[in-house]
Amino acid sequence: MNVDSLLAKLEGVRSNGRGRWMARCPSHEDRLPSLSVRELDDGRILLHCFGGCDVESVLGALGLEFDSLFPEKPQEYVKGERRPWPAVDVLRALVDESMIVAVAAANLAQHVELTDADRERLMLAAERINAGRTLALGR
């Protein structure tokens, strides 16, 4: 299992830095995140519940086995893909790109002709928004 699959099963997930997250522990009533999730460079996943739950209880609540914390052994060595930016930073960038599109649309609605540089920037914004969509959907 990879860390993204594990995080998708948890609630209240927030990033604590590169390869580190906090989430609500599924093994006990948890109003605030108490489960630490860390992905090591080799793909192993470490879990620690600050509420005192053991790893087996956390995995059991998720319907997982202990071996889920280890990457599948590839036929040949392939370096794992790392997310270069936290999701919140990507969303902020997409909001900025959307603003470029909105400004261009407002100018066109007011019959303001876009310059070549404006059109190029508009196309770049569209490409970036589409790339963000593709990454988010995994396609």
**Amino acid letter for position 99:** M
Residue reference for tokens 């990033």: 15
Structure tokens at 5: 């699959």
Q: Cα(65)–Cα(55) distance, rounded to whole angstroms?
A: 10
pTM: 0.52
Q: Cα(84)–Cα(113) distance, rounded to whole angstroms?
A: 37
Structure confidence at residue 35 (pLDDT): 95
Between 83 and 6, the more confident residue is: 6
What tens digit of pLDDT does each residue of 46-93 get? 999 999 999 999 999 999 999 889 987 765 666 666 666 777 888 888
From edge to edge, which strands make up the β-sheet containing 11-17?
Answer: 11-17, 20-24, 35-39, 45-49
